[in-house]
Amino acid sequence: PTDIKKELLKKYPPKVARKRAKQIMINEATECEAPPEIVANVRTIPGIITMRGCTYAGCKGVIMGPTRDIVNITHGPIGCGFYSWLTRRNQTDPGVDGENYIPYCFSTDMQDQDIIFGGEKKLEAAIQEAYDLFHPKAICIFSTCPVGLIGDDVHAVSRKMKEKFGDCNVFGFSCEGYKGVSQSAGHHIANNQVFTHLVGENKEPKEGKYKINLLGEYNIGGDGFEIDRILKKCGITNIATFSGNSTYDQFASAQHADLSCVMCHRSINYVADMLETKYGIPWIKVNFIGAKSTAKSLRKIAEYFNDPELVKKVNDVIAEEMPEVEAAIEDIKERTAGKTAMLFVGGSRAHHYNDLFAELGMKTISAGYEFGHRDDYEGRQVIPNIKVDADSRNIEELEITPSPDEFKARKTPAELKALEDAGLKFRHYDGLNPDLDKGSIIIDDLNQYEAEKLVELLKPDLFCAGIKEKFSIQKLGIPMKQLHSYDSGGPYAGFKGAINFYQEIDRLVNSKVWSYMKAPWQENPELTATFVWE
Ligand code: CFM
Ligand code: HCA
């Protein structure tokens, strides 16, 4: 593996190589006492073709995109709105009220003259138009790069319009694309505003014996539908999903839950902390990607509520769902066992999907995040030691205090301690590294060059990443599975999703088509004719 690292860095100028060397590590996390640190959440080297997206994408596309009854207006040139229009495959079920703005693309369509003279008037008109047309519960405004550069005040405009309407919550986000080093900054900006302007607004208590929030699950390819099916079957009430298949009211009611379950740690862990500080709701890390992980996560939830009735129900559901999963594994595993995969996805999936591949007997030989932070690699214990730089300081941390009339400790310190002693860990996440084998290659903010070089050097049986990597990898003759959009497949979460995934991976890694990448005449250019004079 050390040689692979050297090979990856060989072509770079010394300064670039030095920087990239700190973002590429050979995994030792499982064996050594003080594992090496990885550099993460830092600026991408200019000129390198990164896999990352921008802060606006993280705010508008990722966090706010999946909520159906909020009108999301992009304040900026039309390209930003257009590219974030339905590309993330976050599904929604409009239910009985049918209020669903996800299929629309709202934008102020900024022009040169707005850049010169200011775009606030145009934004105001756009908010008014959206309100007149739809009378939505809320309108959100997203700032693109030029908005920050010219200084349009989206917050002042939002406040003015909210006051004017009286029955529509309007708030904005300073989520200019350049605001942070990646999408991750956009998640934080979005979540801070949701927490400030929306969470806790609905004071009506919610029914349910075991009430949870599911944080960091975005219903890509219907994953959230499958998780909700399972939770419902177990008798667990999901008060709010942040933000897959969500509604305004779910965010507004999140304080009524008794436990927060965190799926994607990267995009939302601070919301779990804020819900705990303000309302007294403890949180645990869960993972519904992989059948075994799903079962484990359900058992953790049951353990928390500490009610034999729920424990039994959860075990019954697992016993009912697993035979089909096991039969699928039994059928497929002999064809997938021993194959190798590389996982390079945003900030969670490069970890979560490791479990699904393990169920197929496949091995992840190299993995990394586009924009994960050190805690997503090394575990939350490193958080106090993470260096704060100019870019991370730029992203606001909210100061949260217990709500004077709504804080309610869900468990006594003694109860929490007893649960911890029994093995249930609160506020805990070990990160990706300990789950990977020693010697596997961990790479932060992978780029186009390194992706191709890795494939050339290690020849994996499968490469998983996003749309930007898809075709360049396939042209190298390696099957490529998108773990962002799922290549229009999914769901892959929960029990039924796992089966779905096994079948697709079986077809992908065992397809003969990849051996026909070169046309016969490319391999054997035998048509060398000889000219014969008559
Ligand atoms: Fe979390 Fe996500 Fe991801 Fe993410 Fe994303 Fe996504 Fe992703 Mo694409 S919130 S970090 S910003 S799990 S959009 S649903 S697939 S990069 S690994
Ligand atoms: C984003 C969204 C994205 C992009 C996926 C991809 C998604 O980062 O803005 O590059 O294929 O999941 O849709 O991560």
CA of 292 to the centre of ligand 2 (A): 27
In short, whether 182's Cβ falls inside 6 Å of ligand 1 is no
- Asked if residue 166 belongs to a domain, the reply is yes
Domain that holds residue 166: 55-197
In short, whether 484's Cβ falls inside 6 Å of ligand 2 is yes
Look up the pTM and report it.
Answer: 0.96
Q: Which atom of ligand 1 is nearest to the CA of 63?
A: 9
- Asked if residue 500 belongs to a domain, the reply is no
Question: Which ligand is nearest to the Cα of residue 50, counting in written order?
Answer: 2
Number of alpha carbons in the 13 Å side-chain half-sphere of residue 505: 33
For 367-394, write each residue's pLDDT tens digit.
999 999 999 999 999 999 999 999 999 9
- Supply the residue whose CA is at minimum distance from atom 7 of ligand 1: 346
Residue ranges in 255-348 assigned as alpha helix (H): 265-279, 291-305, 308-336
Residues 6+ apart with CB under 8 A from 173: 59, 60, 64, 140, 141, 142, 143, 154, 189, 190, 193
> ipTM strictly over 0.90?
yes
**Strands 441-443 and 24-26, sheet pairing:** antiparallel
Q: What is the CATH number of the domain that holds 104?
A: 3.40.50.1980
- Asked if residue 305 belongs to a domain, the reply is no
pLDDT in tens, the chain (534 residues): 789 999 999 999 999 999 999 999 999 865 556 678 999 999 999 999 999 999 999 999 999 999 999 999 999 999 999 999 999 999 999 988 889 999 999 999 999 999 999 999 999 999 999 999 999 999 999 999 999 999 999 999 999 999 999 999 999 999 999 999 999 999 999 999 999 999 999 999 999 999 999 999 999 999 999 999 999 999 999 999 999 999 999 999 999 999 999 999 999 999 999 999 999 999 999 999 999 999 999 999 999 999 999 999 999 999 999 999 999 999 999 999 999 999 999 999 999 999 999 999 999 999 999 999 999 999 999 999 999 999 999 999 999 999 999 999 999 999 999 999 999 999 999 999 999 999 999 999 999 999 999 999 999 999 999 999 999 999 999 999 999 999 999 999 999 999 999 999 999 999 999 988 888 778 777 766 678 887
- Asked if residue 411 belongs to a domain, the reply is no
- Asked if residue 464 belongs to a domain, the reply is no
- Supply the residue whose CA is at minimum distance from atom 8 of ligand 2: 53
In short, whether 60's Cβ falls inside 6 Å of ligand 1 is no
- Residues marked as catalytic: 54, 57, 88, 187
In short, whether 246's Cβ falls inside 6 Å of ligand 1 is no
Q: Cα separation of 62 and 76, whole Å?
A: 18
Number of separate domains in the chain: 1
- Asked if residue 128 belongs to a domain, the reply is yes
Question: Which ligand is nearest to the Cα of residue 51, counting in written order?
Answer: 2
Residues 6+ apart with CB under 8 A from 233: 317
Q: With CA atoms as reference, report the closest residue to 287 among 274, 300, 275.
A: 300
- Asked if residue 506 belongs to a domain, the reply is no
For 324-369, write each residue's pLDDT tens digit.
999 999 999 999 999 999 999 999 999 999 999 999 999 999 999 9
Which amino acid does the sequence have at 225? F
- Asked if residue 144 belongs to a domain, the reply is yes
